Amino acid sequence: MKKRILTLLLVILVAAGTTACQNRTNTNSTSTNSTSPDKRDSVVIAIGSEPETLDPTKGWGHGNSPIVQSTLVKYNADLNFENDLATDYSLSDDGLTWTFTIRDDAFFTDGERVTAADVAFTLETAKAAQGSFDLTYMESAVAQNENTVVITLSKPTSIFLNTLASVGIVPEHAYSADYGRNPIGSGPYKFVEWRAQEQIIFTANENYYGGVPEIKNVTVVFMSEDAALAAVQAGQVDVAYSVATLATTQVKGYHVEAITSADNRGFTLPVLSNEGKTTEGGAPIGNNVTCNREIRQAIAYAIDREQIAEAVLNGYGRPAYSENDGMPWNNSDVKIETDVEYAKKLLSDAGWADTDGDGIVEKDGIKAEFRCVYPSGDSVRQAVGMAASEQLMAVGIKVNVEGMSWDEITRVMFSEAVLMGWGSSSPNETYYLYRSEGALLDDFYNPEGYMNETTDSYLNAAMSALTVEEANENWRKVQWDGTTGTAMQGECPWVWIVNLDHVTYVRDGLSIGNQPIHGHGHGLPLIQNLNEWRWTE
């Protein structure tokens, strides 16, 4: 479990040589008009994270479109569902049985037709793999005939379509242990080659039922932000995922696109006191400063999110107030205004005072001072943490920001604050972040130890809802029901700070389509609509 969550969070910084660009059909120059539009059919894309696998049953495509494989349903740019492989589907009145009709013009790239048996095989394999997709609530997936698959759940699960929008369908007849490195699918692109820690090459699927993409040849290279910017300056890539701290660099022949995301950064704050307990893995639990709700809330109100977004992110970001800002299930009431005086009052009313004049408030012999860790090498998290720490001194709270490896963070995150990041196109993230049964497990969900029966009741109601409207109503109550919730004016296990724009350098003359709101990820969300990209000049 820990390895799987790490895969979603880590920014893998690997170097790639310029040989990646030699696989392009047309050589780039710094002039965007050097080749006529009708012959420009290739792109080179630099991103920071290399996937572990291209096998959807083991996590490829989680939260995004898997591009090599087709999915039963898919998101559009507005995060509404559209049919993909499915031409129709229905749900039984008890919410337990989904029936999908499969289109008859979808073929794998080896020529075999995609059938309901492939869908059933994929879902059963994904459930057994216990990877990024939670299908523990699925009892069975059975092909009734070539075009009809019936999926039975053990309980109504409102996020099931969200899951299906990410699970690419694999061919039962061609699935093997090395599928993740040599995948066959029915999506808009075909896999060509994977050079570990360097690049992956795709080519357009000429038999794709959804229409052949205009971009025929795609090379994805894996680079650190600095290396990617250097490649842009040298004209060696067409698209490069970057970060806000580098985005002010202007490069002739390129423009910067700031893509809206729910990719957030904030403090996880342990809500339990330190009583000498440990997790099953032996990590210490609890923090005697952050276990006080008034401390957590004072931090939330004292931080000037607008200022951090502007100064630290160079304007490439927005204040964050929850794990799902901008999503259909978000509760708009969770937004709070910066109020330093109110933060001071929260502390003083609870008995915190600076009795020795060192600028740090204390209570019962405990100073309001704690450590907040972040992954070393992540310049954005470091800058966000340092800016917030400086602001918090105004209310007498001292936060010591320190970089660590992720291995080290896993050993301290149950007792120390962490500058964490999440963001997803599915509300199941809310479920895993806050459910009581998931507290203090040895993964990155709920290390703060938040447990609340009222929240659990809303989470369970949202998960079991039979309509999107009913589910969203309960997702919103998880955050704030007017009295309690996970929001910063509530129990405040998180202090959300900023949502990052996904800053991307794009060569002039290339359209990267109507990008949907991105979830968390260092580049992979960018290519989920790759079949919409095209050269315009």
Single out the residue in 157, 182, 207 at which a domain terminates.
Answer: 182
Query: Domain containing 469: what range?
Result: 264-499
Residue 236 to residue 505: CA distance in whole angstroms: 12
Q: Which of 535, 533, 504 minimizes the C-alpha distance to 202?
A: 533
Cβ-based burial of 356 (10 A; exposed 0-12, middle 13-18, buried ≥19): exposed
Q: Are 240 and 504 in contact (CB under 8 A)?
A: yes
Residue with tokens 């929001």, as numbered in its chain: 487
Residues 24 and 96 in one domain: no
Structural domains of the chain, count? 3
DSSP 8-state secondary structure symbol assigned to residue 460: H
Residue 68 to residue 60: CA distance in whole angstroms: 10
Single out the residue in 182, 206, 222 at which a domain terminates.
Answer: 182
Q: Are 534 and 526 in contact (CB under 8 A)?
A: no
Residue 66 pLDDT? 87
Q: Confirm whether pTM is higher than 0.85.
A: no
Residue 20 pLDDT? 36
Q: Are 378 and 406 in contact (CB under 8 A)?
A: no
Q: Are 53 and 511 in contact (CB under 8 A)?
A: no
Residues 311 and 417 in one domain: yes
- The CATH number of the domain holding residue 24 is 3.40.190.10
Residue at 177 is within a domain: yes
Residue 520 pLDDT? 76
Q: Which of 160, 172, 174, 35 minimizes the C-alpha distance to 99?
A: 160
Residues 452 and 411 in one domain: yes
The per-residue DSSP string of 399-410 comes to EEEEEE-HHHHH
Q: Are 258 and 314 in contact (CB under 8 A)?
A: no
Per-position pLDDT tens, the chain of length 537: 333 333 333 232 233 333 333 333 333 333 333 333 445 899 999 998 888 899 999 888 766 678 999 999 988 777 788 999 999 999 999 999 999 999 999 999 999 999 999 999 999 999 998 877 889 999 999 999 999 999 999 999 999 998 898 899 999 999 999 999 999 999 999 999 999 999 999 999 999 999 999 999 999 999 988 999 999 999 999 999 998 888 889 999 999 999 888 889 999 999 999 999 999 889 999 999 999 999 999 999 999 999 999 999 999 999 999 999 888 899 999 999 999 999 999 999 999 999 999 999 999 999 999 999 999 988 889 999 999 999 999 999 999 999 999 999 999 999 999 999 988 878 888 999 999 999 988 788 999 999 999 999 999 999 999 988 999 999 999 999 999 999 999 999 999 999 999 899 999 999 999 887 777 765 578 888 899 999 998
Residue with tokens 């109100």, as numbered in its chain: 301
Residues 384 and 309 in one domain: yes
Q: Is 80 helix (H, G, I), strand (E, B) or coil?
A: coil
Residues 482 and 536 in one domain: no
Residues 6+ apart with CB under 8 A from 509: 32, 33, 37, 40, 535, 536, 537
Residue at 191 is within a domain: no
Residue at 356 is within a domain: yes
Residue 5 pLDDT? 33
Residues 6+ apart with CB under 8 A from 336: 300, 301, 321, 488, 489
483-520 in b/e form (b: 16+ CB < 10 A) is eebbbbbbbbbbbbbbbbbbbbbbbebbebeebbbbbb
